[in-house]
Amino acid sequence: MNKFTMLCSLLLSMSIYAQKIDNFERIEVDGFYTNPLFSPTGEYVLLTGEHMKGVYLMNLKDKSVKQISDKPGSGYGYSWDKSGESFYFKEKAEMDYFTNSKVINFYVKDNHSKKVTEIDHNYLPSYNGKNQVVIYTNLSNLKIEAKDLATSKTWIVTNDEGQFYNAILSHDGKKIAVHNGSNIFVYDIDGNSKGRKIGTGIATAWTNDDKHLIGFLDESEDGHSVSNSELYLFDVQNAKTKKITNTEVIAEMFPTIFKDQIIFSDDKTGRLFLATLKIN
């Protein structure tokens, strides 16, 4: 363990009991990585590089990292197949990441990829290869819409006022977490109910039981660059927020969770960290 990791562990351990974070350690991989995403089996983690450039696959067993794509913007909106045997990402040679991108399906064990023509790239990251309903942002009105892939029926999920972004589909497919300004809301997928405010920040993942969201809240001293960031746990049912990290040397962002394991990145250095979360 190097001095940096020891210092981080010491600082975080000062609040372990209160925050329910344990076994905090740096994942020793070279490079700048962010936006980690656990596979459904917990064996692998998808990563992207600085400024969302490229897609990387990390094997958690041996901590090896393999580059899958080197294209700019390919780190926006990737998703795993529900089986965990493959994943999807969007790729475009030019600098326009949000229109006319192609969807690539990469198979982990076979180490090969293919273009998926029947899936719109805007359906990522909600598409998992098996789900019938996907969600996406309608760029003309900035509402979150849902589509039934079997019938092609579409409907608006976020019928409230506001501009919505970063929608995350729950594991059971019944709810979505969305962002409106700095606030996080949860809606039923059918679009028949008003959104419930869960907290403030950026949610990045549902827990496996869909009872909580995990995310982060960053701070800026000059209004432009991030000065610090901490991780938060959002109780969906009770709309309660718990701060689960409290450090000054790490800007914790983009946590992903599998069961009780969290992986997140440091926005300042691109280092990756692994911790255990104990939820009451």
* pLDDT tens, residue by residue, 42-68: 999 999 999 999 999 999 999 999 999
Q: What pLDDT does 165 receive?
A: 94
- What is the percent of the chain with per-residue pLDDT over 90, rounded to a whole number? 77
Mean pLDDT over all residues of the chain? 89
pLDDT tens, residue by residue, 142-169:
999 999 999 999 999 999 999 999 999 9
pLDDT beyond 60 at 13:
no
Give alpha helix (H) positions in the chain: 3-13, 16-19
Higher pLDDT, 192 or 227: 192
pLDDT category at 73 given cuts 50, 70, 90 is confident
Q: What pLDDT does 221 receive?
A: 66
Q: Enumerate the β-bridge partners of residue 100.
A: none
pLDDT beyond 80 at 206:
yes
DSSP assignments along 38-101, one per residue:
E-TTSSEEEEE-GGG--EEEEETTTTEEEEEE--TTTTSS-EE-TTSSEEEEEE-SSS--SSS-
Contacts of 92 by beta carbon, 8 Å cutoff, 6+ apart: 71, 73, 74, 100, 101, 102
- Taking residues 100-120, what's their average pLDDT? 93
pLDDT beyond 90 at 269:
yes
Q: What pLDDT does 18 receive?
A: 38
pLDDT beyond 60 at 16:
no
CA dihedral 242, 184, 225, 243 (to 10 degrees): 0
pLDDT beyond 80 at 7:
no
Higher pLDDT, 95 or 272: 272
pLDDT beyond 80 at 220:
no
pLDDT beyond 90 at 190:
yes
pLDDT category at 10 given cuts 50, 70, 90 is very low
pLDDT category at 101 given cuts 50, 70, 90 is confident
